[in-house]
Amino acid sequence: MQVVMAMVKIVPVDEGTNTTASVDGKVWRKKYQSMPDATSEAVELRIMEPREKTFVDASQRQPTWSGRGYAPTRPFEVDVEELIKRGFLLDA
């Protein structure tokens, strides 16, 4: 288990949502079908609180908020092995 600090971003993209985790100068990325799918896994990974999930999911349905996503300014502890198990891919 390799737990490190990472900056995380969950942003709507064409036909889905990307979650990126910047870990030690490397970027891990996973694409989801929807924002709720991405935020559900973010809660499971402990990179988002359940109350934040509710707010982010609801805000994505408002035209003035679409495209902003979730980009906190604080780093989170992530387990790189867990990211890999869940299908995150390392950017080339």
- Per-residue pLDDT tens digits for 58-76: 876 665 555 677 888 888 8
Residue 84: the pLDDT is: 94
**Whole-structure pTM value:** 0.84
Residue 57: the pLDDT is: 83
| Tokens coding 74 | 């604080």
Sign of CA dihedral 6, 9, 10, 14: negative
- Per-residue pLDDT tens digits for 21-49: 999 899 999 999 988 999 999 999 998 98
| Buried-state track 57-71, b at ≥16 Cβ within 10 A, e below 16 | beebeeeeeeeebbe
Q: Indicate the DSSP class of residue 34.
A: S
Residue 15: the pLDDT is: 83
